[in-house]
Chains A and B, each alone.
Chain A
Amino acid sequence: MLNIKSKLWLTLLVLLFLPNSTWAILTYSRIVHLDFEPNLTFNYTNRFWGASNITTYIAGNLEPYATLIDPNQGGGPREITVVLRLPENLSRPGKWTLFVGGVEKAPKGYGMTAIPAIEEPIYVYVPYPGYYIDLSLNIPSVEENETVEGNIVIINRGHNNITQMKLDFAVVEEIDNETVYSFTRDLDGVLVTGKTREEPIEFSTSGIPPGDYLAKATVFYHGKTKSARQLFTIGSLDVRLVKFPNQLPTSTISKFVFVLQARWRHTLDVYAVIYIDGRRLATTPTVKMGGFKEAQLETFVDTAGFSEGEHNLSIEVFFGGISKRFNEKILIKAPEAEKPALEGNRSILLIAIITSVAGVVVIGTVLVILLYLIKWRR
């Protein structure tokens, strides 16, 4: 009975993730960093848009000290205000956060839905007792052989001024952990409480192969250490077309073999789509291409319907989440007919006869001349 009941009901059960009308939420990027001050009042405004039914909210451990002023809660695009009133004291040192968020309202009547939300943070920093720094890296991705121009940001988040700092900086290959660049530097001067120091980082990438790298920084200060790391890229994902067929027979299914070379340090999954005159003919299987290695890709293409002559060949290669199209020319021509075996034999026979006749003629002539000479001497 139970099973019948279940079956009858479940026939009607629809499992569906269904889209709402817009499914996007946007806001201006307004991230706020504040040093803690007792009883500080801070007014924050921002705008949310992208959906017709946005619910705004505040969250985080500073929420008890904040008030959200939204003139049209649940409505469309609009500006909102948040008033943050900090207390006399916060219970612990470090970073406190207030998130000002907007979320699209879930649609009614569906079984399973997914919605986006976006949050802008307001950070309040309460000083640590003694010595304490925050550390972050800004290392941009660059092309091959370019110079990296970045910096290391050191912020004194402690009560005491920092008077001794030494920086260790290294760039290591992300997978092999091989160091490709490093230095150690004393950072002179005094970093006052609450202040920021930006230490420039500049180095050439000449001789460093394209790939993903990890920048690591460690600052030693007053017997403490603080480390930070950041991924960045040297060069760009790229492949080269090394070899491809320059002609194909007409109206035939032929094997199409070509060779690619990676211009990237890491292994890539690669496949390609073959077009002639814009017509999609075939897709290759996916192959793994090692860093800077070559890979041979194969598929079969049918040239039925293409006239004899030169045509536009496109090989669109997909790798690492991007694609690159190589545009080349290809000749489609009638396959050369094989000469029958008999015809080949006839040619050989003819050559043999001619050679024999020529030989006989030469030998005969020589003999005649010899006989003539003998007679003449007598």
Chain B
Amino acid sequence: MAEVSNRVLAALLIVAIIVSLGGTLISLQKIKSMKFVPITGFALGPTYGYVNLTVESVAGLDFTDAYARIDFGTGYVEAGETTRACTMWINGTITSPEWWNSTYCRDEWNKTWATGETPLELVNIGTTYLNVSIQSNETASQYLPTQASGGTRLKWWFQDNETGSCNDSVTLGSWNDVTTTKQQVCQCLNFTVSKNSLAIGAYVNITSDIDPDLLDKETKVTWTATAVDLGATASC
């Protein structure tokens, strides 16, 4: 049997393509005019589709990872004839932190603790206004009990981290002893990026008569920032 030449193959291919395309077109025309609706890829209805998208508002509160810790480090209070105290605090904003420690702070508590430290940053990461309050699970004397003086102190300080974050003025904008009852911090925290964050400062005062025997090493102080959702169109 003689071999088929390339020319003949090309001609056959062209014929096959023409027959195939022609058959497809004729079939589609026939199907369109049929009274029942067979399963085909032919679009019979409107040639457009609908996409429904509902964006729901979200309420969210976040301690920014990079500014979610204050490390006072390891240290002790220099002992003396009478009870002495070491006070350390940090406040201000993330970009302009301020800190201080008193005379009898020793080891890392004496100045070195503040390197690179900032206040905590609490951010409204949602799309609604928030009413923010703060509460501690323990007071200073519960967390750092003393033998006699009762002088230990834990305090907090709140302020706008970005100007205009709190639509009303921030309350607790000075050093206040932590409380186990809820205290309002900001009645209306904005959600607009660039003005949606609060800075939280911390103050610790430790006396030299702190009672290690009474201290529960498993106990911890937890500050809970609670935000009540005010909605995206709140009047504030």
**Chain A interface (Cβ within 8 Å of chain B)?**
2-7, 9-20, 23-29, 31, 50, 99, 101, 103, 106, 109-121, 136-138, 228, 230-231, 320-322
Give the complex CA separation of A15 and B88 in angstroms: 10
Most buried by A among B77, B88, B206, B221: B221
Which of B202, B208, B221, B232 sits near A6, CB closer than 8 Å? Answer: B208
* Pair B224/A115 contact, Cβ less than 8 Å: yes
- Interface residue? B76 (CB, 8 A): yes
Q: Could you jot down 12 A-B contacts, CB within 8 Å? A: A11-B75, A14-B72, A18-B69, A18-B71, A19-B69, A24-B61, A112-B220, A115-B225, A118-B60, A119-B228, A230-B236, A320-B164
What residues of A have a CB within 8 angstroms of the CB of B75 in the complex? 10-11, 13
The residue in chain B whose Cβ has the minimal distance to the Cβ of A50 is: B60
The residue in chain A whose Cβ has the minimal distance to the Cβ of B68 is: A19
Which of B62, B74, B229 sits near A23, CB closer than 8 Å? Answer: B62
What residues of A have a CB within 8 angstroms of the CB of B232 in the complex? 29
What residues of B have a CB within 8 angstroms of the CB of A109 in the complex? 218, 220
Which of B10-18, B40-48, B120-128 contacts the other chain? B120-128
What residues of B have a CB within 8 angstroms of the CB of A228 in the complex? 235
Shortest C-beta distance, B62 to chain A (Å), equals: 4
Give the complex CA separation of A19 and B122 in angstroms: 12
* Pair A4/B79 contact, Cβ less than 8 Å: yes
* Pair B57/A15 contact, Cβ less than 8 Å: no
Shortest C-beta distance, A313 to chain B (Å), equals: 23
- Other A-B pairs beyond A23-B63, A120-B229, 8, CB < 8 Å: A12-B74, A14-B72, A15-B72, A25-B60, A111-B220, A114-B200, A116-B62, A118-B61
* Pair B225/A116 contact, Cβ less than 8 Å: yes
Contact flag A28-B57 (CB < 8 Å), given A115-B224, A117-B224 = yes
Give the complex CA separation of A9 and B60 in angstroms: 41
* Pair A114/B120 contact, Cβ less than 8 Å: yes
Give the complex CA separation of A338 and B29 in angstroms: 93
Shortest C-beta distance, A118 to chain B (Å), equals: 5
Which of A23, A27, A113, A114 sits near B65, CB closer than 8 Å? Answer: A23
| Chain A facing B: main interface SS | strand
The residue in chain A whose Cβ has the minimal distance to the Cβ of B66 is: A19
What residues of A have a CB within 8 angstroms of the CB of B62 in the complex? 23-25, 50, 116
- Interface residue? B186 (CB, 8 A): no
* Pair A27/B225 contact, Cβ less than 8 Å: no
Give the complex CA separation of A230 and B204 in angstroms: 37
What residues of A have a CB within 8 angstroms of the CB of B69 in the complex? 16-19
Give the complex CA separation of A375 and B97 in angstroms: 101
* Pair A19/B212 contact, Cβ less than 8 Å: no
What residues of A have a CB within 8 angstroms of the CB of B80 in the complex? 3
| Chain B positions 162 through 178: 1 when the CB is less than 8 Å from some CB of chain A, otherwise 0 | 11110110000000000
What residues of B have a CB within 8 angstroms of the CB of A24 in the complex? 60-63, 125
Shortest C-beta distance, B193 to chain A (Å), equals: 10
* Pair B194/A29 contact, Cβ less than 8 Å: no
Give the complex CA separation of A26 and B227 in angstroms: 10
- Interface residue? B3 (CB, 8 A): no
In the complex, how many residues of chain B place their beta carbon closer than 8 angstroms to a beta carbon of chain A?
A: 67
Give the complex CA separation of A25 and B224 in angstroms: 12
The residue in chain B whose Cβ has the minimal distance to the Cβ of A29 is: B57
Most buried by B among A6, A7, A24, A113: A6
- Interface residue? B147 (CB, 8 A): yes
Which of B68, B74, B224, B228 sits near A121, CB closer than 8 Å? Answer: B228
What residues of B have a CB within 8 angstroms of the CB of A11 in the complex? 74-76, 107
Shortest C-beta distance, A322 to chain B (Å), equals: 5
| Chain B positions 47 through 69: 1 when the CB is less than 8 Å from some CB of chain A, otherwise 0 | 00000000011111111110011
Give the complex CA separation of A243 and B47 in angstroms: 59
- Interface residue? B233 (CB, 8 A): yes
The residue in chain B whose Cβ has the minimal distance to the Cβ of A141 is: B192
* Pair A16/B126 contact, Cβ less than 8 Å: no
Which of A12, A26, A136, A321 sits near B126, CB closer than 8 Å? Answer: A26
What residues of B have a CB within 8 angstroms of the CB of A99 in the complex? 228
Which of B63, B130, B208 sits near A115, CB closer than 8 Å? Answer: B63
- Interface residue? B195 (CB, 8 A): yes
What residues of A have a CB within 8 angstroms of the CB of B150 in the complex? none
Shortest C-beta distance, A233 to chain B (Å), equals: 9
Give the complex CA separation of A110 and B130 in angstroms: 28
Shortest C-beta distance, B170 to chain A (Å), equals: 13
What residues of A have a CB within 8 angstroms of the CB of B122 in the complex? 114, 116
Contact flag A3-B220 (CB < 8 Å), given A13-B75, A23-B63 = no
Most buried by A among B65, B194, B212, B228: B228
Most buried by B among A101, A114, A118: A114
